[in-house]
Amino acid sequence: MSGSSSQRSLLVVGPAEVHHALPMADCIELMAQTMASVSRGDALIPLRTVMPLPGGNLFGAMPGHLARPQALGAKLICIFPDNAHRGLPSHCGLVVVFDPETGLPRAVIDAAAVTAVRTAAASGVATRALAKQDAAHLGILGAGEQATTHLEAMANVRRLRSVRLWARDAAKARAFAEREGARLGVAIGVCASARDAVADADIVCTVTGAHEPVLQGSWLRPGAHVNLVGASRATTREADDDVVARARFFVDLRASARAEAGELLHAIQAGRVEPKHIAGEIGEVLNGTVQGRTREDEITVYKSLGIAAQDLAAAELICARATSESIGTRVPF
């Protein structure tokens, strides 16, 4: 980007344009490259700052810098859980992209759409690396936006033969099953309990807003792979200590997990596991420096907290496609 003021503009990319520029299959490959790069040390990713707001709401800032692809920026995100009752997304914000050579602002991109896709794509990467090759039965806990994108991601990395879903809101679960089953051409069974949804699952995705466990380790079949996604603070968890203790446990970034992975931290505090229970980062598995699954009957867990590197890599791809495909709106700046 030129530093000349006469040529400066700011790219603005909305939700629909993000989904157009960032199809799931492409994002899965991008997240694989990004997580491998992060685990090689090619990124600066300080811990995110989360500021509590009145009413149980949150404001977060996630800055970062990537060496490959070169990228600089931050995600600014608001989490307002009651927005669901207003017909609005609970996660709202922007990914702000800067020129890594000049520091000039390049783009602002809808953060909710980026997060929805890149989070599920990262789970897809972990599932492809850790789940059994013949894994075909998916259990999903939750029926929100992340359930939608995770279903798509899982269908991209494994040939699904059955999908079972549980959510606290039964009507929402039924609507999800009808809508997404028709969209992806797969039958989705709605279960009365979380236990029923995961009983026969080879792959489990927890994508709820729960603060206390909705998944118990005793429910998991040998050889299952679990993506823990919904809880992103040290004080919240979707899975009990048995899930953590039974599993070979992987994370997106060790530093983040040690500070914010509620399931892991609770299990450590309860004396069920030690801090060294983290087997590795998913990028280390991809780089071949840490072994992934070691046995067919082993339970594996990927704890997803989300890191700025994922947002920035996605944003760079969106910016590139905005230029080549005339996506987004450019405004003088």
pLDDT at 6: 52
Q: Please check the confidence at residue 248 and state whether its pLDDT lies above 50.
A: yes
Share of the chain above pLDDT 90, in %: 90
In this structure, the number of other CB atoms found within 10 A of the CB of residue 99 comes to 17
Q: What is the pLDDT of residues 78-114, one digit of tens each?
A: 999 888 788 888 889 999 999 999 999 999 999 999 9
Q: Please check the confidence at residue 2 and state whether its pLDDT lies above 50.
A: no
pLDDT at 4: 46
pLDDT at 81: 85
Confidence of residue 318 (pLDDT cuts 50, 70, 90): very high
Return the CA Rg of the chain: 19
Burial 254-270 (b: 16+ CB within 10 A, else e): eebbbebbbbbbbbbee
pLDDT at 69: 80
pLDDT at 178: 96
pLDDT at 3: 44
Distance, in Å, from the CA atom of 316 to the CA atom of 98, rounded to the nearest integer, reads 10
Average pLDDT on 51-74 reads 93
Q: What is the pLDDT of residues 268-279, one digit of tens each?
A: 999 999 999 999
Q: What is the pLDDT of residues 11-29, one digit of tens each?
A: 999 999 999 999 999 999 9
Indicate the average pLDDT of the chain.
Answer: 95
3-state secondary structure 4-50: CHHHCEEEEECHHHHHHHCCHHHHHHHHHHHHHHHHCCCEECCCCEE
Residues of the chain with CATH 3.30.1780.10: 5-115+309-332
Residues of the chain with CATH 3.40.50.720: 133-306
Q: Which CATH number fits domain 133-306: 1.10.3470.10, 2.70.98.40, 1.10.340.30, 3.40.50.720?
A: 3.40.50.720
The domain 5-115+309-332 having CATH identifier 3.30.1780.10: the answer here is yes
